[in-house]
Amino acid sequence: MIVEAKVETLGFVLPDLDEIYRTNRSGARFLSHFAVQNLLYLSGTTPVKDGQPYLTGVVGQDLMLEQGYEAARYAVLHSLAAVQYALGDLDRIEHVVQLIGFVNSAPGFLATSHV
């Protein structure tokens, strides 16, 4: 519970994926994660805040750099929630093998690494 406490100290709350899955309006069923031996694979996540899509759009067109950064934070929180859902406790994470992030940005937007 050390990682969860750190997240709360930073002023964030991990989404409750169990609740999100139960109340999914679309009725779609998807896997947020898949375990293979001792590795956990996550599907892509998008920024969600208070159960709603958050700061959607194109950075450098619809969103400012700071908004893109904020959107990335909430996408990561959703990823952490998927890990917590799968493992029961974020403290079980031993290593991150690979982390890939995509930024929907306008042509000519050169500050992707700042997002």
- Residue 36's DSSP bridge partners are 39
> What's the pTM?
0.86
- What are the tens digits of pLDDT across the range 33-46? 899 999 999 988 88
Average pLDDT over residues 4-9: 92
CATH code linked to domain 2-114: 3.30.1330.40
Q: Is the pLDDT of residue 66 over 90?
A: yes
Residue 61 and residue 68: Cα distance in Å, rounded? Answer: 11
Domain boundaries, the chain: 2-114
3-state secondary structure (DSSP) of residue 68? helix
Cα-Cα-Cα-Cα dihedral sign, residues 9, 10, 12, 18: negative
CA angle centred on 2, ends 89 and 17, rounded to 5°:
40
CA angle centred on 97, ends 94 and 101, rounded to 5°:
120
